[in-house]
């Protein structure tokens, strides 16, 4: 009975934390220029290289065991850094998209809605991928590559460009990504 209560309570706390992380800091809104300044650059090609399973297999085959584990740990930590930046950027773009959803222009509002939806999905995927990568740091188990995360980030970048075109503003946000 007590164990069931503890598991239910832990599940509710985990769900609450997941919702808070997915939403981002909704209260810290600002103008687009301020939010754009908070974006962190993400090199998607470098990230793809870090999570490439073929690259991992190549390193495993060509490096001694201890050296491979050291290099793989560095690769995982770098991938964690990229994913953290992508999640951070998604939270900022959610706020930018949320502000743009109130636009009287239907095309702008629709593009902003897609941006917010993509950013939410990206943040949830990022937290899932982070959990897997942290687990891979601890346990040397075969892992599933978070390739969809890179694709979602690129889709989110395209939506930012589309939103910029609809709003007829410079593409500062897209350039910062």
C-alpha span between 3 and 47 (Å, rounded): 41
Q: Give the closest residue to 92 by CA, choosing from 42, 166, 131.
A: 42
pLDDT at 56: 87
What local confidence, expressed as pLDDT, does residue 132 receive? 85
pLDDT given at position 27: 45
Decide if 33 contacts 92 (C-beta within 8 A): no
Q: What is the pLDDT of residue 177?
A: 60
Q: Which residue has the tokens 């687990």?
A: 135
The kind and range of the H/E element at 146 are none
Mean pLDDT per block of 10 residues along the chain (177 residues) reads 73 66 51 73 86 88 91 91 91 86 84 88 88 84 69 80 63 56
pLDDT in the model for residue 67: 93
> Is residue 94 packed enough to be buried (19+ CB in 10 Å), middle (13-18) or exposed (0-12)?
buried
Q: What is the pLDDT of residue 51?
A: 83
């Amino acid at each position: 009975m007590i164990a069931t209560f503890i598991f239910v309570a832990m599940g509710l706390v985990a769900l609450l934390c997941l919702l808070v992380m997915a939403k981002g800091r909704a209260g810290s809104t600002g103008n687009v220029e301020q939010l754009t300044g908070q974006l962190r650059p993400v090199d998607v090609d470098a990230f793809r290289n870090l999570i490439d399973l073929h690259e991992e297999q190549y390193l495993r085959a060509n490096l001694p065991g201890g050296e491979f584990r050291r290099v793989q740990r560095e690769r995982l930590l770098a991938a964690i850094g990229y994913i953290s930046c992508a999640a951070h950027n998604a939270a900022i773009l959610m706020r930018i998209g949320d502000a743009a959803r109130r636009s009287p222009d239907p095309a702008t509002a629709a593009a902003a809605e897609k941006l917010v939806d993509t950013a939410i999905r990206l943040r949830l995927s990022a937290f899932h991928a982070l959990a897997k990568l942290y687990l891979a740091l601890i346990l040397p188990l075969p892992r599933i590559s978070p390739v969809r995360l890179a694709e979602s980030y690129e889709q989110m970048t395209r939506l930012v460009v589309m939103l910029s075109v609809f709003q007829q503003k410079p593409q500062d946000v897209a350039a910062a990504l």
